[in-house]
Amino acid sequence: MALVPDWLHRGLFEDDHFALPQVIPTGGPKQLRDVAQRFRDSLSDFAVRRFVRDEIVEEGKPPRRIFDDPLDQILGELRLRTVIRQEHQEEARARFRLLRDDCRKHPTEAVREGAVAYALKNKFFPAGYAEIRPFIMSAENKRARTMHRLLQTADKAETLMERQARVDADPVDPAE
């Protein structure tokens, strides 16, 4: 929601309802469309695992591959915010990998917002994808809903600006 311009009024109880101010800035509709486009882009931005380098751990052993993966970072932060279950370390690693692979089909920002919402609501690290999926879907739907409402608000702002321009061009004459 940090992308939304400051001049756009928000709802009192819900953060994704918007109201236009009395005076709309000159580039207001374009700003709203740009923000909606950024939300649309974030919904189509999926995490990609990138190879960084090989690291030699010990002589005679194969090198360990180092990857850069945003989902590793997001789920690692979730693991720090929640309590680890009492289980074997290999099981925890396997569950982490499964969760990472299952979350790969969702946009990165939706996974990040869903992980934060899950950590606020639950104490333990998710046992599986089914526990975190509702939070990710909720974040994804909220981003899509916000994008749609911003586009509607931009159309409404354009209509109001056109109407105001027509009134300013043809003022009412008191003699009529």
What is the DSSP code (8-state) at residue 107? B
pTM of the predicted model, to two decimals? 0.81
Rounded to whole angstroms, how far apart are CA atoms 27 and 1?
19
Rounded to whole angstroms, how far apart are CA atoms 82 and 49?
24
Q: What pLDDT is recorded for position 23?
A: 82
Q: Mind listing the pLDDT tens digit for each residue in 6-51?
A: 778 776 666 667 778 888 888 889 998 998 999 999 999 888 888 8
Ranges in the chain, pLDDT < 50:
none
Q: What pLDDT is recorded for position 13?
A: 66
Q: What pLDDT is recorded for position 112?
A: 95
The closest alpha carbon to 151, from 2, 8, 51, 55, belongs to 8
Q: What pLDDT is recorded for position 11?
A: 66
Query: Tell me, what amino acid is at 77?
Result: E
CA 139 to chain centre: 7
Q: What pLDDT is recorded for position 166?
A: 87
- Domain residues of the chain, as ranges? 1-14+21-161
